[in-house]
Amino acid sequence: DIQMTQSPASLSASLGETVSIECLASEGISNDLAWYQQKSGKSPQLLIYAASRLQDGVPSRFSGSGSGTRYSLKISGMQPEDEADYFCQQSYKYPYTFGAGTKLELK
């Protein structure tokens, strides 16, 4: 199985701060990577797919980048509503696998 190592496990950001979350795949996944946001008690919501494509309706402060085995999610200007857990996920090979998640809190 492809292992997705996500870091950091948690972080705290101030209002307006730019934050980055990293995801390292155990083998190359050819940009077949998505990022999801999960707010407390809610279902995951798609933010980014194909490593860098913004899902319709997602604020432009969210962006994704990367290639090969290394990918990242950036939030340019932390907002209160961005407090959530974030997960990366690969669809390159079965079984689809997720990172362990990053808990983002507002400082």
- Applying CB under 8 A, which of residues 7, 22, 85, 106 lies at the interface with other proteins? 85
- Applying CB under 8 A, which of residues 7, 55, 69, 76 lies at the interface with other proteins? 55
> Is residue 44 within the footprint of other proteins (CB under 8 A)?
yes
The rounded distance, in Å, linking the Cα atoms of 60 and 102 is: 20
Measured between alpha carbons, how far is residue 7 from residues 10, 33, 58, 59, 65 in Å?
8, 15, 22, 22, 15
Site for other proteins in 11-40 (CB under 8 A): 31-32, 34, 36
Order of strands across the sheet that contains 18-25:
4-7, 18-25, 70-76, 62-67
Give the interface size with other proteins as a residue count (CB under 8 A): 23
Site of interaction with other proteins (CB under 8 A): 31-32, 34, 36, 43-46, 49-50, 53, 55, 85, 87, 89, 91, 94-98, 100-101
